[in-house]
Structure 1
Amino acid sequence: MNTEQLDLLKSRLDAYRPLPKAVVKNLREDLALRWTYNSNAIEGNTLTLQETKVVLEGVTVGGKSIREHLEVTNHAEAVNLVYELVAKSEPLSERTIKEIHALVLKGLDDQNAGIYRNVNVTISGAEHTPPDFLHLKEEMTSFMKWYEESAEMHPVERATRVHVDLVKIHPFVDGNGRTSRLLMNLELMRSGFPPVVFKTAERLSYYQALETACIQNDYTPFLEMTEKLVQESFKPYWFALGLTDTGEKRSSDA
């Protein structure tokens, strides 16, 4: 897989845009569920996919904590905000980063929601140690400078770097992973690519690729993982439009 192939898939999807409203609604609901379930599960939330679905429908799941319920509803709200930001064509900013994070931690840790950390943190099980909080302002300024100067970078690579570099900085006390994945998809969607879902079943590979990028400054494993996910993310669109798995018309339609 390379970016040229991904651009080809995007051009095929673009040819069908704007998509029928019913298709968009169905795809968005399915994606919001899978995105929310997997992103939270990666961080340790024990709600199943079906339990996540009923929580999003307003039902309380017995035996599960309030925190886990809030993680679901908060993430769904953050996904909606991402769609709003895409519709407004708003570029990434520190304000955007804080707004999304504030939703992720709403009602869970209001004292730190949307606020950069003022303590040092470690990442459980990781070799990488985030920078001292005293350097956070400098680190985030440097990150935003890179972002502004990377406009010519391919959107998939740029989105990958946004995710990895924010995890590397770890600007918040908690919620960095979920926030980074939301921001990564914001970047992809702004450029016309479907959002990706990192599956909890591949959590080990995901963390290993992140660690390689943070420790060795080698983004290749994480970029390769992302490219495969981007390719997969087109498939629900092809199915909804009655196309082949590569976005082409079926032979009987030709």
Structure 2
Amino acid sequence: MIRDYPIKISNSKYIPPSSGIEQKLESLIVWYEKNRNEMHPVYLVCLFHFHFVSLHPFGDGNGCMCRILTNLILYKSDYPIFDIAYKTRQGYYRALESANLKKDEMSFISWFFTR
């Protein structure tokens, strides 16, 4: 169920939006559909992943759902799965945090492409 209440992500200064989540999620899906044949699949999935996880549309399970969707998109484009190894997990969280707080998705994109 899409949340309609504010949440706090543990160990993060970033606070996801608490209103209009359903519309933002629909916009993300429309954006994906519009761009899936126009953008390189890895760049597309990186942006989709960042915006989905930043939206944090559910009360729980956002990371798991995001990884499933990310890997589905990669699989459909004949790319290997995206796995965040335990040793790189903190870097992943830092990249998300930085990109969200600065409102600059390039911080996350840079991390994604250099890992």
Question: How does the TM-score come out when normalised to structure 2?
Answer: 0.87
Q: Which residue of 1 aligns with 2:21?
A: 136
Q: Which residue number in structure 1 is paired with residue 72 of structure 2?
A: 186
| CA deviation after TM superposition for structure 1 residue 170, in Å | 0.6
Two-structure CA RMSD over aligned residues (Å) = 1.6
Kindly tell me: are residues 146 and 193 of structure 1, through their superposed partners in 2, closer, same or farther at Cα, counting changes over 3 Å? same
Q: Separation in 2 of the partners of 1:217 and 1:150?
A: 21
2:112 and 2:71 map into 1 onto residues whose CA distance is 11
Shift of 1:202: 1.4
**How many residue pairs align between the two structures?**
114
In 2: Cα distance, 1:165 partner to 1:227 partner: 16
Q: Which residue of 1 aligns with 2:111?
A: 225
Displacement of 1:219 in angstroms is 2.7
* Alignment CA distance shift 1:220-1:197 (3 Å): same
- Distance, in Å, in 1 between the alignment partners of 2:94 and 2:109 is 12
Identity %: 34
Amino acid at match of 2:14: H
| Aligned residue number for residue 175 of structure 1 | 61
- Aligned-partner residue type, residue 59 of structure 2: V
1:148 equivalent in structure 2? 33
2:96 to 199, 210, 234: 210
Does the residue aligned with 1:198 lie in a helix, a strand or coil?
coil
Instruction: Give the Cα separation in 1 of the matches to 2:59 and 2:106.
Output: 27
Q: Quick one: which amino acid aligns to residue 31 of structure 2?
A: W
Q: Rate the CA distance shift 1:170–1:135 in 2: closer, same or farther, 3 A.
A: same
Alignment partner of 1:161 is 2:47: yes
Q: What is the deviation of 1:228?
A: 4.2
Distance 2:50 2:12 in 1: 14
5+ long unaligned stretches in structure 1: 1-114, 230-254
TM-score norm. by structure 1 comes to 0.42
Structure-1 separation of matches of 2:85 and 2:31: 28
